Amino acid sequence: MLDNWMKVYTGDEEYQAKLIVALLKNFGLSPVLLDRKDDGFRVGVVEVYVAPEECNTALRIINENRQ
């Protein structure tokens, strides 16, 4: 992970994180998905990070597109 990248999403469902990554990419951002789930049991969380300069925009996009 690059230094200073900002976490904009944490969840336990990988598909939700992938949807957020796709949404942010559609807006021209460069998100990174970090899978922190245990390989054997798939328990844990997934996180989405963006560069610091994209953080406010990413959070706004995520909040505007919540259902």
Q: CA–CA separation, 27 vs 24, rounded Å?
A: 5
What mean pLDDT comes out for the span 7-35? 95
Longest dimension (CA), the chain: 35
Computed on alpha carbons and rounded to an integer, the radius of gyration of the chain in Å comes to 12
Q: What is the pLDDT of residue 33?
A: 95
The fold for domain 6-64 equals: Alpha-Beta Plaits (3.30.70)
pLDDT at 2 over 60: yes
Read off the pTM.
0.87
3-state SS assignment for residue 17: helix
CB 48 within 8 A of CB 33: yes
54 secondary structure, DSSP code: G
Kindly list the domain boundaries of the chain, sorted by start residue.
6-64
